[in-house]
Amino acid sequence: MDKIKITICIPTYNRADYLDQTLQSVANQTIRPFEVLIIDNASTDWTAKIVKKYDKYRFTYIRNKTNIGMARNYNKCLRTAGGDYCSILPSDDVIAPTWYEEWSKLIQQVKAPIYTSPMAVISETNEILYLCTIFPTSRLVTQPRVLREFCRCLTPGVPPNAATLYHRNVYRKVNLFDPAEGSETDVRVVMDMFRNYDVYFYNKYLYAFRHHLARSFDKVKELKNNDSDLKKITNYFRIIGDIYRADFHSSRESRFFIQTHIFMTLATVNLYLVRFQIRKVVRTYLVMHQYFPDLFSYQKDWHQFFRIQLFFLKRALFWKRISKNSRASLEWISSTAPI
């Protein structure tokens, strides 16, 4: 049987504070990856020194001469990747030691253009905050049911991270990340994929997403605050608004996809009421109404809205209630301490 060729793409910019743990998680793989591609978007910190520590693992390190922006750097990763499959590992996140081995075995057993899995959300200190899953069991979801099935589980897309693998034909055929859309550019890419390709869900935690206050995007390290959050939400609504005007009334699947995206965003914002950040919530709803004036046209729209709000409220109240079995399956997270 032919060896599965998977490229792990690690786009990075001024992320040396977490990059060491990310690379250590790749170095810990039980099977040596076909290709590990680190593309440095002209970092000004000690990123190059961190990568140098892992020379013996023969990771490919490419440093851009100038900062080309997040979207173009992601596109460069995908275009440079030499594997049959590709996954984007953000440079502050970590993967399980068996990540490469398990995906390789699964691809040999089940053929699909896109594979995805649940993920753990961890803190700056590797504490497990909560778990994000989709279906209770592994399964192949085929077209034209992909949009609806994932949205029913409040997952209107699988973001470009290491919980997901794409066959190279997928990202060669869809429109790649648009620099004009900023850090929310993945929304359109994900919808294009979900409209056109089958997706296999593998019910195992092999990836951990790190939640922290600082995010490195295009040319600055952006600190989360009310103004930056509102700017990102406005841009996000603008992108969804383009899809909304083109597709909202064309099919039930498109309407369901767009509504789920918007209602999940509003659910996240509503949690700020607990902190008495009323102004932020009101401003978000005003922006939402500007782009989606007829979002609540039917009774079932309100039903979907409240269903999602209750789901997020429940997760916020019980976010640290993680079973012993789940914690045991995620012990690998503590093994990513840098060398």
What are the tens digits of pLDDT across the range 159-193? Answer: 789 999 999 999 888 878 888 887 778 888 888 88
CATH code: domain of residue 151 = 3.90.550.10
User: pLDDT by residue (tens digit) across 209-221?
Assistant: 998 766 544 444 4
- Write down the pLDDT at residue 37: 97
Contacts 24+ apart (CB under 8 A), 333-338: 333/94, 333/120, 333/122, 333/126, 333/128, 333/208, 334/126, 335/25, 335/28, 335/97, 336/21, 336/22, 336/24, 336/25, 336/28, 336/94, 336/126, 337/21, 337/24, 338/20, 338/21, 338/23, 338/24, 338/53
| Same domain? 159 vs 251 | no
Question: For residue 147, which of 100, 197, 101, 99 has the smallest C-alpha distance?
Answer: 197
Query: Is there a domain that residue 336 lies in?
Result: no
**Quick one: average pLDDT of 122-150?**
89
Would you state the pLDDT for residue 36? Answer: 97
Give the end of a domain, one of 218, 249, 279: 218
Same domain, 210 and 246: no
Question: Do 252 and 209 belong together in one domain?
Answer: no
Please determine, for residue 226, whether its predicted confidence score (pLDDT) is greater than 60.
Answer: no
Q: Are residues 118 and 244 in the same domain?
A: no
pLDDT, tens digit, for every residue of 252-286? 777 777 788 888 888 878 777 766 778 878 888 88
DSSP per position, 127-189: -EEEEE-S-SS-EEE-TTSHHHHHHHTT-----SSTTEEEEHHHHHHS----GGGGGGTHHHH
Instruction: Report the percentage of the chain scoring pLDDT > 70.
Output: 88
Q: What is the pLDDT of residues 78-92, one digit of tens each?
A: 999 999 999 999 999
Of the pLDDT bands very low, low, confident and very high (cuts 50, 70, 90), residue 224 is very low
Count of domains for the chain: 2
Domain region containing 206:
6-218
Which residues does 306 contact at the CB level (< 8 Å), separation at least 6?
none
State whether 188 and 236 are in the same domain. Answer: no
| Predicted confidence (pLDDT) per residue in 297-331, tens digit | 888 889 889 988 888 887 777 655 677 777 777 88
Residue 68 sits in the same domain as residue 206: yes
Q: Which of 195, 218, 241 is the last residue of a domain?
A: 218
Domain assignment of residue 144, yes or no: yes
Task: Among 218, 242, 275, give the residue marking a domain's end.
Answer: 218
Q: Looking at the domain assignment, is residue 114 inside a domain?
A: yes
